[in-house]
Amino acid sequence: MTARPSYPHDPDLHVPGTSAASGRCSHHEDHPDDGPCTGEAVVSFQDSAGRWQSGCTTALQELVERGEIEPLGQGA
């Protein structure tokens, strides 16, 4: 599995009107069991289906540990 790039959270990457676009964590909406959600998006990334998702610090840590996304700041 190749880790996908991660980017500092950017509302412009997300569909207007979604949680992600308004600065909330969309990862935990889809994966509520992935630890406690801080609610505040710090990272933007594409999921395995190519959809833009946002993640809080907990989501970022979980996904990096699983090798799903790169640590923030190490992408292109």
Where do contacts with Zn ion occur on this chain (CB under 5 A)? 25, 28, 37, 56, 59
Task: Find the shortest distance in angstroms from Cβ 53 to Zn ion.
Answer: 10
Question: How open is the CA angle 25-73-58, to the nearest 5 degrees?
Answer: 30
Report residue 38 as tokens: 């801080």
Query: Which lies closer to Zn ion via its Cβ, residue 10 or residue 76?
Result: 10
Task: Find the shortest distance in angstroms from Cβ 54 to Zn ion.
Answer: 8
Which residue in the block uniquely carries the two structure tokens 């950017």? 10
Backbone angles phi, psi at 48, to 5 degrees: -65, -20
Task: Find the shortest distance in angstroms from Cβ 19 to Zn ion.
Answer: 10
